[in-house]
Chain A
Amino acid sequence: MSNTVYSIVPAIGIARVGNAPTAFYIGPETEGGLPTLPDGRTVGEQDFRDDEGRLCRQAARFRLMRSVDGGPPEEVTLKSEGVASIRWYVHLANKKSSWYEFQTSKGEDGYASNHPLRNADRTSAEERRALIIDAGPRSIEGSDAPAEHFSRDTIPPGYAGSFPPEGLKPYPIDTLGELRTDEEGRLLVLGGLGHSGSDRPSPHIGQYANNDGWWDDTSDGPVSVKISLLDDEDGPPDVEVGGAWVMVGPPSYAPQIPNLVTLYDTIFDVVVRKQGLRPDLFADGMWKTGPTGYKPFFETDIKPIFERVARYPWVAAIPPKPHSFDFARLGDPDPKLNGFRAYILDIIRPPGADNVLVNASTGATAMPYLAGDDALGASKPGTVTVATSKYLRLTDTQYFLLQQWADGWFIKQGAEPAGTAGDPVTRGVLANCVGGAFSPGIEMTWISRNPAIYDGPFRIKARPDVSGPLSLGFDPAAGMEPGDVSRYMAVPWQADFNECSSQPIEGRILWWWPAQRPEFVYLPPDPQTLRVEPSPALGPQVSWIGTEYNQKADDYIQFADDLDMVKLWDQLGFVFNIGSADDPYFVEVARRLPRTPGSQGDTAGIGEPARPLVADVP
């Protein structure tokens, strides 16, 4: 009898909201890759919106893999021999409004007794449970199955689900998304419509992360599958497989530009340091340094870090030159270049220097020039000394790999052999998510660094037999419930997404997540001049939102009022490469929002009345 191991990939799938009711695309499964359309084509610049100009949702696709006797994993679909049916089980919930307030890094190691709750005026367990959005579990099977909605009116009979009051303003929340399957029975999870609303008569957003009376329709939850085999010569006819999770986050407006620290890097750091699953890098509390230690692969471990750096100038106003690299030289292990590599490493903010912007012994600015987890704490007078991390830094594992590289202990050619590198789809999916700074973040916050929530590499431990109502607490030993991963995030997400553009710290302005939330973009060139020269001159960079002249202005590269983001997020443009992979040229496409009057990109509307900033409320 053969030993067959099933698994779901990716371990964590990422869906993203959109207000197109039916059109969607499937999330990218490689770092910096473009999403794909259901028919398999890669999205073009016209595919980010549906026929009516609404923003398409990004579906998270899950596949079932099978490994026989330790062999390489192969996919199992409805078309595979011997498969009778594949039924997927998903349970989405949003617990944001019932959880604690988000206050930068507070709570990562447990909340203090005086840490405020969101909606603290609702005190009874019943009232607090009513703050949870929980449509209950759903399942789906077959090929191209009709959508199974996580909606208010499809809560399974007998399940104690809950939805916020009807008629929230400006947008009602009646669904968290839906399940579909593709032609071969793979699972597609679609998230919410990007609706955020308040139960107050005149909705108002006063804060970036905690707004009482507000809900949004992002969510998260476990994914499992039951496969039925046609004949059971090799074991039980039905196999149940869990271990996967789906997160629903904000749209990815620059899908081809990965974050410097990706969510993969952050969780991989847990795998290495906390779970001890990579003893070749780190074991018994010791890093495997030096010539006999771990040798990173330049192509897969080192080069991507610099490639990400090289793409930031397309989405932030940063000097392109120091962010361009000669990869042949970086990848040359010649010991004569040790000094050169050490010079590069020296610029990168090391562990323990989370509050250092300018290197005290060289005067050089430490990189990345990005806000850290506790940049907000640092920006408030009187709290500077207690800031835990004002500036972003690479993960310990990333820095370790770079140290080995700088010392010349790295492998120039080739990639990490399959099997040790983990599942490539999980890596590819998470490489397109934010791994820091977590204030709170975009998809997941610092809870991603907590080893207690996992029971394997990248595998979030799901609580078995969730029958509802969902709990109000946190018990990772019992497993994570639907909504337990995303509840730390800002409510509504648009508030944080709007405000986390630039961050003043000690007289400097730092950026947050330019790769995920663009700050400055280039406009498409005049069609007359496009590509007539080998390299057309770039026009000026313009603010993605708001104005760019005065860094102290309320609308400096953001909306002056967070409520505008709730209403207008779906009209923003996407940053898209109209050049080639080797000679990229990223411009903003598919934008519907007029530029803010007075901003550099507002060439048309000077002197004309601005279009009212009001979206149609459905």
Chain B
Amino acid sequence: MTEQCLLERPQGKAAAPLSVAYTPISTLPDLRAAAQLAIQVEFTTVPAYLTALYSITDKGSAAYQALRSVVVEEMFHLNQAANILIGIGGQPKLTGSVVPVYPAYLPSASTTATPYVGLYRASQAVFRNVFMAIETPAPFTAPPQGSDYQTIGQLYKALSDGIERCVDQYGADKVFVENPAAEQRTDIYLGKFGGKAVKVTDLDSAQLGIQQIVQQGEGAVNPTHPLVPQQPYGAYEHYGARTDGTYGPILGTPYELSHYYKFLRVADAPDFPDTLPIVSNPRVSDFANATAVQAVKAFNIGYSVMLQSLEASFTKAGGAADSYFTLALPLMHNQLPTLANLVMQLPVFPDGDPTVGPNAAPTFEYVEDASFDDFLAALQALDKLLAGQGLPALLVAPVAPPAPPGPAPKHREALHGVIDGVRTLKSRSDATGLGL
């Protein structure tokens, strides 16, 4: 039996040869590039998952909850990959050219073996042909592959091998030299799923970090091999579908955890929840509804500020307020989902029917030099347009002018805004509140 037989190829692509030219990583710059690539791969999956996620109307449905748990774990992987990069002397980059543009293949992935990733309205076909394909487990014996990889697990194998090789070659004290300007994060909380990010200071912690990522989703894990049962966070005791057929605490059962199997359950389920009639792979240039254009614009500015603040949260704060908890987290958990839900209920055409569609969708485009003030201004402009259509405003109270920037590092200056006032967006975002 060949190894390919172990792989399901649900997206119907021809099986590619498992091993193409593989050059082991042997220099520190290459190693950092590989870690940055891992960050970008994780990053690229998130907007794709989020678009499908927000398009599902029943937030309590199994499909929504499964996808939500995967998104949160991808963000955890991003956090962990960033820690690895910082641990080996790099500085994670999440803005500018790093921001994925859709539709696209995963960065440096094999275009024959991996799916074409886009911003799609959720459906069982999307779960099966795109999401399951992203999360296809690597066979236990799959070779490492630093680029042109067929599964994400191979990419991590290459990173893992590279770290070992560099430690052999240069010594651990040369490899694990933390970037003095950067700061690893172990205190970021993303949701009830995810895991506990480890601080990477040596070979063992680096391998543990990679192992956590790989076991959760993009696994090169023997499926009969249980997850480390003593793992205090993440693996042990979270909630999910159990092997006794009920929902409840997972006491060390490995199957539930794999993203691939989570998606398989959704794809194989007899029914699928209702979705909003959004366009897939949206482009602003296709939108004729000025409100939708402004809402997407506001979303993209907020998205860009969030990315800036997330990137900045991996730098030493130097006394400034922690941009993760002051900006990135409220944006990720409140303002951006609120806006995304609004956008998806705004028809592309001015006179369109939002229950029929086609509706707009966030484009996840990066806006250079976006600031929090820009975000506020965009929301205020959006509120005017909403008011013109008799829809309730997003900002519930007049937002105080932002405080003047304090003595913060230069790259934080754009992030000085206080989120107060904007944070109550959500209560007005329920579908009923929008008059839809």
Contact (Cβ within 8 A) B423 A320: no
Contact (Cβ within 8 A) A335 B65: no
Bound together, the chains give a CA A336 to CA B429 distance in angstroms of 23
Contact (Cβ within 8 A) A540 B326: no
Which listed residue (B60, B189, B337) contacts A360, Cβ 8 A?
Answer: B60
6 interchain pairs, CB-CB under 8 A:
A334-B321, A335-B418, A338-B423, A346-B333, A549-B251, A551-B248
Query: Does chain B have a CB within 8 A of A143?
Result: no
Which listed residue (A320, A360, A508, A539) contacts B430, Cβ 8 A?
Answer: A360
Given A320-B237, A360-B430, A365-B192, A537:B230 Cβ within 8 A: yes
* Interface set, chain B 311-328, CB cutoff 8 A to A: 321, 325-327
CB proximity of B370 to chain A, nearest CB, Å: 18
Bound together, the chains give a CA A548 to CA B248 distance in angstroms of 11
Contact (Cβ within 8 A) A343 B237: no
Q: Which residues of A contact B247 (CB under 8 A)?
A: 507-509
Bound together, the chains give a CA A363 to CA B65 distance in angstroms of 7
Given A321-B233, A339-B330, A552:B244 Cβ within 8 A: yes
Contact (Cβ within 8 A) B249 A343: no
Q: Which residues of A contact B68 (CB under 8 A)?
A: 363
* Interface set, chain A 328-346, CB cutoff 8 A to B: 329, 334-340, 342-343, 346
Contact (Cβ within 8 A) A337 B337: no
Q: Considering only CB atoms and an 8 Å cut-off, how many residues of chain B contact the other chain?
A: 50
Which listed residue (B189, B326, B330) contacts A322, Cβ 8 A?
Answer: B189
Bound together, the chains give a CA A88 to CA B78 distance in angstroms of 66
Q: Which residue of A lies closest to B330 (CB)?
A: A339
Contact (Cβ within 8 A) A318 B237: yes
Label chain B's interface by main secondary structure. loop
Bound together, the chains give a CA A418 to CA B177 distance in angstroms of 53
Which listed residue (A319, A335, A508, A552) contacts B237, Cβ 8 A?
Answer: A319
Query: Does chain A have a CB within 8 A of B242?
Result: yes
Q: Which residues of A contact B237 (CB under 8 A)?
A: 313, 317-320, 541
Query: Does chain B have a CB within 8 A of A421?
Result: no
Query: Does chain A have a CB within 8 A of B234?
Result: yes
Q: Which residues of A contact B194 (CB under 8 A)?
A: 321
Q: Which residue of B lies closest to A356 (CB)?
A: B60
Given A321-B234, A360-B430, A361-B59, A551:B242 Cβ within 8 A: yes
Contact (Cβ within 8 A) A336 B232: no
A to B contact number (C-beta, < 8 Å): 128
Query: Does chain A have a CB within 8 A of B414?
Result: no
Label chain A's interface by main secondary structure. loop
* Interface set, chain A 225-270, CB cutoff 8 A to B: none
Contact (Cβ within 8 A) A346 B426: yes
CB proximity of B351 to chain A, nearest CB, Å: 27
Q: Which residues of A contact B9 (CB under 8 A)?
A: none
Bound together, the chains give a CA A363 to CA B429 distance in angstroms of 14
Bound together, the chains give a CA A364 to CA B429 distance in angstroms of 15
Contact (Cβ within 8 A) B238 A358: no
Contact (Cβ within 8 A) B60 A509: no
Given A339-B326, A339-B334, A342-B330, A319:B251 Cβ within 8 A: no
* Interface set, chain B 274-321, CB cutoff 8 A to A: 321
Bound together, the chains give a CA A3 to CA B53 distance in angstroms of 68
- Of the listed residues A317, A504, A549, the one surrounded by the most CB atoms of chain B closer than 10 A to its CB is A317
Q: Which residues of B contact A357 (CB under 8 A)?
A: 60
Q: Which residues of B contact A335 (CB under 8 A)?
A: 418, 420
Q: Which residues of A contact B422 (CB under 8 A)?
A: 339
Which listed residue (B187, B246, B325, B430) contacts A361, Cβ 8 A?
Answer: B430
CB proximity of A275 to chain B, nearest CB, Å: 31
CB proximity of A591 to chain B, nearest CB, Å: 20
Q: Which residues of A contact B418 (CB under 8 A)?
A: 335-336, 338
Q: Which residue of A lies closest to B244 (CB)?
A: A550
CB proximity of B305 to chain A, nearest CB, Å: 12
Query: Does chain A have a CB within 8 A of B259?
Result: no
Contact (Cβ within 8 A) A360 B59: yes
Q: Which residues of A contact B157 (CB under 8 A)?
A: none
Contact (Cβ within 8 A) A358 B321: no
Interface string of B225-251 (1 = CB under 8 A from A): 000011011101111001011111101
Given A336-B321, A342-B330, A509:B423 Cβ within 8 A: no
Contact (Cβ within 8 A) B248 A364: no
Contact (Cβ within 8 A) B419 A339: yes
Query: Does chain A have a CB within 8 A of B121?
Result: no
Query: Does chain A have a CB within 8 A of B329?
Result: yes
Bound together, the chains give a CA A408 to CA B418 distance in angstroms of 13
- Of the listed residues A326, A336, A343, A508, the one surrounded by the most CB atoms of chain B closer than 10 A to its CB is A336
Which listed residue (B59, B65, B230, B238) contacts A319, Cβ 8 A?
Answer: B238
Bound together, the chains give a CA A322 to CA B195 distance in angstroms of 10
Query: Does chain B have a CB within 8 A of A362?
Result: yes
Contact (Cβ within 8 A) B59 A343: no
Given A336-B321, A339-B420, A343-B334, A363:B426 Cβ within 8 A: no
Q: Which residue of A lies closest to B421 (CB)?
A: A338
Query: Does chain A have a CB within 8 A of B366?
Result: no
Contact (Cβ within 8 A) B334 A551: no
Which listed residue (B64, B251, B419) contacts A600, Cβ 8 A?
Answer: B251
Query: Does chain B have a CB within 8 A of A538?
Result: yes
Contact (Cβ within 8 A) A338 B419: yes
Given contacts A322-B189, A337-B321, A343-B329, 10 further A-B contacts (CB under 8 A): A317-B237, A319-B237, A339-B325, A339-B420, A340-B329, A340-B330, A362-B337, A363-B60, A540-B230, A541-B251
Query: Does chain A have a CB within 8 A of B196?
Result: yes
Query: Does chain B have a CB within 8 A of A359?
Result: yes
Given A337-B325, A337-B326, A342-B334, A548:B189 Cβ within 8 A: no
Q: Which residues of A contact B171 (CB under 8 A)?
A: none
Query: Does chain A have a CB within 8 A of B252?
Result: yes
Bound together, the chains give a CA A361 to CA B334 distance in angstroms of 10
CB proximity of B419 to chain A, nearest CB, Å: 4
Q: Which residues of B contact A342 (CB under 8 A)?
A: 330, 334, 423-424
Bound together, the chains give a CA A340 to CA B332 distance in angstroms of 11
Query: Does chain A have a CB within 8 A of B191?
Result: yes
Bound together, the chains give a CA A539 to CA B252 distance in angstroms of 12
Contact (Cβ within 8 A) A538 B232: yes
Q: Which residue of B lies closest to A507 (CB)?
A: B247
Bound together, the chains give a CA A509 to CA B239 distance in angstroms of 10
Bound together, the chains give a CA A326 to CA B252 distance in angstroms of 27
Bound together, the chains give a CA A541 to CA B238 distance in angstroms of 13
CB proximity of A612 to chain B, nearest CB, Å: 28
CB proximity of B51 to chain A, nearest CB, Å: 15
Interface string of A544-573 (1 = CB under 8 A from B): 000011111000000000000000000000
Bound together, the chains give a CA A251 to CA B418 distance in angstroms of 49
Given A334-B321, A551-B242, A361:B191 Cβ within 8 A: no
Q: Which residues of A contact B252 (CB under 8 A)?
A: 540
Bound together, the chains give a CA A537 to CA B232 distance in angstroms of 8
Bound together, the chains give a CA A550 to CA B246 distance in angstroms of 8
Q: Which residue of A lies closest to B250 (CB)?
A: A317
* Interface set, chain A 508-560, CB cutoff 8 A to B: 508-509, 537-541, 548-552
Q: Which residues of A contact B244 (CB under 8 A)?
A: 549-552
Q: Which residue of A lies closest to B252 (CB)?
A: A540
Q: Which residues of B contact A313 (CB under 8 A)?
A: 237
Given A337-B326, A509-B247, A538:B230 Cβ within 8 A: yes
Which listed residue (B249, B321, B341) contacts A318, Cβ 8 A?
Answer: B249
CB proximity of B239 to chain A, nearest CB, Å: 7
Q: Which residues of B contact A359 (CB under 8 A)?
A: 59
Q: Which residue of A lies closest to B69 (CB)?
A: A363
* Interface set, chain B 331-367, CB cutoff 8 A to A: 331, 333-334, 337, 341
Q: Which residues of B contact A361 (CB under 8 A)?
A: 59, 341, 426, 429-430
Q: Which residue of B lies closest to A325 (CB)?
A: B189
Contact (Cβ within 8 A) B189 A358: no
Q: Which residues of B contact A319 (CB under 8 A)?
A: 192, 233-234, 237-239
Interface string of A485-497 (1 = CB under 8 A from B): 0000000000000
Q: Which residue of A lies closest to B249 (CB)?
A: A317
Q: Which residues of A contact B423 (CB under 8 A)?
A: 338-339, 342
Contact (Cβ within 8 A) A320 B426: no
